[in-house]
Structure 1
């Protein structure tokens, strides 16, 4: 059963030059107990897609979708009061910047207890016990001494653990983890990911893992969605994506991994940047940065279509040899 189902999600923001489409027709499904990895450069629309799902975008954002459902409930048709009963309790999110997501004016203990009071209706004694259990669970030492601490008195890693404790406090059925290891040192990153994957496995949660770290995806996710410039460009199982990427952008991301650059003098990079408001190219949005772009790529935008066991948005998907299949066929004919 699909815990989360999104079809044709579009998010637009007004600018001086018109509407900027930050998310362009994205589809997504997450089954109960599944970990879906979402990868792509900054500006690809990963976080905005999930904030739209949570209902946390500003009022001026224009959101539309053919379907946006959690556990069969249409989120777009719910009133704000009905949605608040789901968001925070059944759907929870670990935000990208814990130091700015936590309220600096309230203690850690107060903010954690507020979640339990609003969503679980616990009394003061039960809330305190639950908060101490949560802080211990996420690996914060001497949790009683931390209840009266403010966010600025804790390290980045500690604040990240508090955010995780807050997100899992009501035992959500879907957890959205937005760059949960950003700005943390390598040792803490490993601890945080072990904690998240352990909680997901033990509690049977569905999880959407947004990250730039392909290594984290390879170790934690079941399926992967690759986003670029607001569009979904590839979707595949972890094994298929890492062994036979079909989209040139996916292949370029994997080629830029340090472990795949052994023996080379320089680490491969992807030239250029993700297009913004004023520099959207015609045709495929990736064509100015693509080594395989053709005249068709520069004029006709490709559709997302089934490819193998996944989906890809490309006129000439790559084959097992890492070359575009259409080009290889044309060469054979010639």
Structure 2
């Protein structure tokens, strides 16, 4: 049985003039210990589909699916109280822009301790000890001092490490990382990816990596799902997808990589086809 199984997920947003569909009938399957990369350009529905799983979309969104199961439990049929026992504990998420995701009014230590007290049931002293352990685990320099630091007193890479520490604090079975290296320099990007890979391999948790960076996919993922305008174009293991992409949109993405570029300009989707076909 798959750890996460989603069939025919659709997300629509109401607007002042009607509605629009951000995710249109996609399927997602993740097994225990899997690393699945979801790739595609901005606006393809990558983040929205995972925010739907987390139950974090605004009231203007309507989420439907034939199935949305985590470890056999139907997330769509659980009560809010039952769902909160899973979300933030067994399923956690690292959001884009770590500095914006942390509360500027509280120290990093306070914020991770709140996660531990609420989701792991630790008292204040135990939460502080566990927070310090997690800060060391994610490689934060001077972890005792970082517990007392506010987000603006840390670099982007350090804030991202704090977010990772918060995400793994409850030893989740599934971690969703949404563009975890956005706005970080190349050296820090590699450090963060290496850290996520190390944690995933050590703990055996499943990892869903949302990205538009095909280089990141090649280095970290087992399987890749390609999205375009809310549709899933294709899904394959990493080696198959890079060596023999089946969908024209996937071929366009790979051809746009600088190392694959030929001539004076990068190709566009239009160079491959007028409208990418949708493959279930």
Common fold by TM > 0.5: yes
Rate the CA distance shift 1:187–1:63 in 2: closer, same or farther, 3 A: same
Rate the CA distance shift 1:267–1:164 in 2: closer, same or farther, 3 A: farther
1:269 equivalent to 2:267? Answer yes
- Separation in structure 2 between the aligned mates of residue 292 and residue 145 of structure 1, nearest angstrom: 55
Structure 1 runs of 4+ with >4 Å offset: none
Who is 1:24 aligned against?
24
In the superposition, the TM-score normalised over structure 2's length comes to: 0.97
1:174 equivalent to 2:174? Answer yes
Who is 1:163 aligned against?
163
Over residues 131-164 of structure 1, what are the superposed CA-to-partner deviations in whole Å (9 max), with x where a residue is unaligned?
1111111111111111121111111111111000
In the superposition, the TM-score normalised over structure 1's length comes to: 0.81
Who is 1:100 aligned against?
100
* Deviation at residue 111 of structure 1 after TM alignment: 0.4
Gaps of 5+ in 2: none
- Separation in structure 1 between the aligned mates of residue 125 and residue 105 of structure 2, nearest angstrom: 23
Who is 2:272 aligned against?
291
Give yes or no for contact 1:38–1:224 (8 Å, CA) kept in 2.
yes
Who is 1:215 aligned against?
215
- Separation in structure 1 between the aligned mates of residue 245 and residue 34 of structure 2, nearest angstrom: 21
Over residues 37-58 of structure 1, what are the superposed CA-to-partner deviations in whole Å (9 max), with x where a residue is unaligned?
1000000000000000000001
Number of equivalent positions: 280
**Structure number with higher relative contact order (C-alpha < 8 Å, ≥ 6 residues apart):** 2
Rate the CA distance shift 1:303–1:43 in 2: closer, same or farther, 3 A: closer
* Deviation at residue 14 of structure 1 after TM alignment: 0.9
Give yes or no for contact 2:233–2:278 (8 Å, CA) kept in 1.
no
Equivalences for residues 135-214 of structure 1 within 5 A:
135-214=135-214
* Deviation at residue 175 of structure 1 after TM alignment: 0.3
Give yes or no for contact 2:231–2:278 (8 Å, CA) kept in 1.
no
